[in-house]
Amino acid sequence: MPETCPFETWARDFLAWARVETGLSPATLEAYARDLRQMAEDLTKHRVKDPGKVTMQHLAEHLQRLRRERGMEPSTVTRHLATIRVFYRWLHAERRIERDPARLLERPHRWRKLPGTLTPGQMRKLVEAPTAEHSEMWLRDRAMLEIMYAAGLRASEVGTLKMNDYNDTLASVMVLGKGNKQRLVPLGDPAVNAIRQYLNECRPGLARFRDGRDKFRLFLSFSGKPLERVAVWQIVRKYAAIARVPGVHPHKLRHSFATHLLAGGADLRVVQELLGHSDINTTQVYTHVDRSRLHDVLLKHHPREGGASKPRVAHKRGVAS
């Protein structure tokens, strides 16, 4: 067996500290571990085996290889950089290294990619795809897709929804997002109707076990356990294939939720609150997505194009109103 390298030792110590001291979610810790493993493998491959001898140049070249050779999405590279910065900040604070090589690394804004979205027509096909013909769990799947699009939910948020998070009277759902931040999101009639039908006709059969395995979660698997994040991905992919809508993943429903709200005239700050973004700059990327509307908006609202200053004509009466 090869001897454990310092990268693995220090990464293990860092993850143990993060697990105990920071209270991060299991998903975040898993992402940290994956990022550090990828960094160690890549730097070791390029003859940098000691994390204490890593320079800013080594890290910059590593990030470039992730994008160029591995084809990582810009958002993934940015998250990977965040892991590296936290890791080396901890090593420096623990006095394991004299200098922090990641301190001056800048976030690669030029890599940020506009999020992919579905059209309203594609979204309609997707959420209406679940039928009794495709699955005996179609009521659950339909309710899940409807609420993901209606509330802009992340895949991880779907599985953690509890029964008392959904309020039928107020037609809303309380979502526990990143950093244990809660947000209240109103729901439209399609989502409410789908959830009601699921709760009345499907969930009672899934919650048939009395051993507490359901953990009071809203969406359950056939075995009566909470729906896992991986299962959410599989369900979305399944019905995307049935609806013949290519390139769909759970986060694309969230992107579409935000984009369609802004296209319909929603205020950016409102969309920020609904998505649970702490920084409005994160939400602002959606303002650049729907550029197809710009020409129509110009013609409709600019005074020189006959917009706001042009009187409307009531054709039946023949007078301006």
Sequence-ordered strand ranges (E) for the chain: 166-167, 172-176, 182-186, 313-314, 319-320
d(CA 306, CA 314): 16
- Give pLDDT, residue 320: 37
| pLDDT higher at 114 or 238 | 238
- Give pLDDT, residue 235: 97
- Output the CATH code of domain 120-281: 1.10.443.10
- Output the CATH code of domain 6-111: 1.10.150.130
pLDDT tens-digit readout, 101-160: 988 776 655 445 557 889 999 999 999 999 999 999 999 999 999 999 999 999 999 999
From 142, 217, 251, 260, active-site residue: 251
- Give pLDDT, residue 281: 79
From 62, 142, 255, 277, active-site residue: 277
Whether 70 and 42 have beta carbons less than 8 Å apart is answered as: no
Q: Which long-range contacts (CB under 8 A, 24 or more apart) does 281-284 make?
A: 283/258
- Give pLDDT, residue 116: 81
From 62, 140, 142, 154, active-site residue: 154
- The DSSP output letter for 4 is P
Q: Is the pLDDT of residue 4 over 60?
A: no
From 80, 140, 142, 254, active-site residue: 254
207: number of Cβ within 10 Å: 15
- Give pLDDT, residue 6: 80
From 65, 85, 178, 213, active-site residue: 178
Q: Is the pLDDT of residue 2 over 70?
A: no
pLDDT band at 315 (very low <50, low <70, confident <90, very high): very low
Mean pLDDT of 46-53: 87
- Give pLDDT, residue 142: 98
254 in catalytic set: yes
Q: Is the pLDDT of residue 321 over 60?
A: no
Ranges in the chain annotated CATH 1.10.150.130: 6-111
Ranges in the chain annotated CATH 1.10.443.10: 120-281
178 in catalytic set: yes
Strands 172-176 and 319-320: unpaired
- Amino acid, res. 5: C
pTM, entire model: 0.63
